């Protein structure tokens, strides 16, 4: 087997903090280098502080460790991105193009970059959004992901750089918190439930969005990256689906364990973003090309989220 040396950019984020531990288990401590803009002392492997807007800084790390794969996870998400659209565009695109350019010039074999359901807008069938739908995003984050997908395909066609990508739904996990997204409510709600606190939801009760449990999201990412090259037929980004639900439905699932759980609905500017996104994604291509199949549904995810968070919460209370 050829040697793998993996660099994760954005390793302190919601996905990165879980993905880095999984990659470490798979590829060994010596072969996984985590990086982020701020230091992280809790990672049990090599860590580099890295500002991905700095081309030379990325290249220095890639050369230092003879990196063969990059997972580039750093980005400003949908809701936060709207506060300063031009800054979001600059940052998201600068980091992405730096990564692609460093990769092609330094013999990096594979690159992963996350796309999102935010690439879709109101020109699609929102109940079963097809892979090849028209892309007319409503947010600057979505615009940067559409552009990123096209750049990924361009680098593949022009330079043969093996870039792979997933259009993630909202990701829900107990290990880490998201920041600045429109789907974040579906993580925060579990934290409130286990603390017996009321939850103020920024989306309306009937807003259905596609979601995925962290375990499935990480497995999808690794399965995509490990799939034989000839199986990767989509070089923009793959639709992946798992479950779809509204705040109303997640509350019903939580109430099976926390009968007194209370929620208030106070939709804000994020409602319009959610309303522009699909309710349900058609992931037939991912299933056919590299055998994608989710394991969790709303019930099994809720059970595990509550159990894991209760344990975390109890041990943090015991320590204080
Ligand atoms: N979870 C992301 C967000 O809400 C979507 O990719 O911004």
Q: Splitting the chain (320 residues) into consecutive groups of 10 residues, what average pLDDT does each group show?
A: 88 96 95 94 88 98 98 97 98 98 98 98 96 97 98 98 98 95 98 97 98 98 98 98 98 97 98 98 98 98 98 86
Going by CA atoms, what residue is nearest to atom 2 of ligand 1? 181
Same domain flag for 130 and 153: yes
Q: For 92-114, b where at least 16 C-beta lie within 10 A, e where not — what string? A: bbebbebbbbbbbeeebebbbbb
Q: Is residue 134 part of a domain?
A: yes
DSSP letter at 129 equals B
Q: Is residue 304 part of a domain?
A: yes
Please identify, by atom number, the ligand 1 atom nearest to the C-alpha of residue 180: 7
Same domain flag for 203 and 74: no
pLDDT, residue 2, reads 63
Same domain flag for 249 and 137: no
Q: Cα of 269 to ligand 1 centre, how many Å?
A: 14
pLDDT, residue 17, reads 94
Same domain flag for 122 and 201: no
Number of domains in the chain: 2
* Any atom of ligand 1 within 6 Å of the Cβ of 139: no
Catalytic residue annotation: 141
Q: What is the pTM of this model?
A: 0.96
* CA 290 – CA 232 distance, rounded (Å): 7
> Can you give the residue range of the structural domain that contains 147?
6-171+212-239
pLDDT, residue 41, reads 72
Strand arrangement, sheet containing 6-9: 46-49, 32-36, 6-9, 69-72, 110-116, 162-168, 238-239
pLDDT, residue 252, reads 98
* Any atom of ligand 1 within 6 Å of the Cβ of 16: no
Same domain flag for 255 and 163: no
Q: Is residue 28 part of a domain?
A: yes
**In a mutational test of the pocket of ligand 1, which residue from 79, 137, 170 has the highest number of ligand atoms less than 8 Å from its CB?**
170
Give the domain CATH number at 277: 3.90.25
Q: Is residue 290 part of a domain?
A: no
* CA 223 – CA 226 distance, rounded (Å): 5
* CA 318 – CA 92 distance, rounded (Å): 40
Please identify, by atom number, the ligand 1 atom nearest to the C-alpha of residue 116: 6
Same domain flag for 197 and 159: no
Cα angle for residues 182, 118, 241 (degrees, 5° grid): 95
* CA 101 – CA 103 distance, rounded (Å): 5
Please enumerate in sequence order all residues whose Cβ is within 8 A of that of 216, keeping only pairs 6 or more positions apart, or say none: 242, 294, 295, 296
Please identify, by atom number, the ligand 1 atom nearest to the C-alpha of residue 171: 1
DSSP letter at 37 equals S
**In a mutational test of the pocket of ligand 1, which residue from 82, 115, 117, 144 has the highest number of ligand atoms less than 8 Å from its CB?**
117
């Amino acid at each position: 087997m050829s040697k793998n040396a993996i660099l994760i950019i954005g390793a302190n984020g919601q996905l990165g903090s879980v993905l880095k531990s999984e990659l470490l288990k798979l590829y060994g401590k010596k072969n996984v280098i985590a990086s982020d803009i701020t230091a992280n002392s809790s990672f049990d492997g090599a860590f580099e502080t890295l500002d991905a807007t700095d081309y030379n800084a990325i290249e220095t790390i890639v050369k230092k460790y003879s990196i063969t794969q990059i997972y580039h996870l750093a980005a400003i998400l949908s809701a936060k991105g709207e506060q300063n659209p031009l800054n979001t565009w600059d940052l998201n695109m600068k980091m992405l193009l730096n990564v692609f350019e460093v990769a092609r010039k330094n013999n990096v074999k594979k690159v992963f970059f996350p796309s999102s359901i935010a690439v879709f807008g109101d020109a699609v069938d929102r109940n079963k959004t097809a892979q090849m739908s028209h892309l007319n995003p409503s947010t600057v984050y979505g615009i940067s992901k559409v552009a990123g997908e096209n750049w990924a395909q361009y680098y593949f066609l022009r330079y043969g750089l093996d870039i792979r990508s997933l259009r993630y739904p909202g990701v829900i996990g107990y290990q880490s918190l998201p920041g600045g997204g429109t789907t974040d409510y579906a993580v925060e709600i579990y934290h409130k439930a286990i603390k017996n606190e009321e939850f103020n939801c920024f989306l309306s009760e009937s807003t259905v969005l596609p979601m995925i449990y962290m375990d499935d999201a990480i497995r999808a990412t690794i399965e995509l990256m490990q799939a034989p090259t000839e199986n990767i037929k989509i070089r923009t980004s793959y639709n992946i689906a798992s479950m779809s639900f509204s705040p109303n439905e997640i509350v019903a699932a939580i109430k099976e364990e926390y009968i007194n759980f209370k929620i208030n609905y106070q939709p804000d500017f994020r409602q319009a973003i959610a309303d522009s996104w699909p309710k349900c994604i058609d992931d037939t291509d991912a299933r056919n090309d590299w055998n994608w199949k989710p394991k969790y549904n709303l019930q099994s995810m809720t059970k595990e989220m509550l159990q894991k968070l209760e344990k975390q919460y109890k041990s943090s209370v015991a320590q204080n």
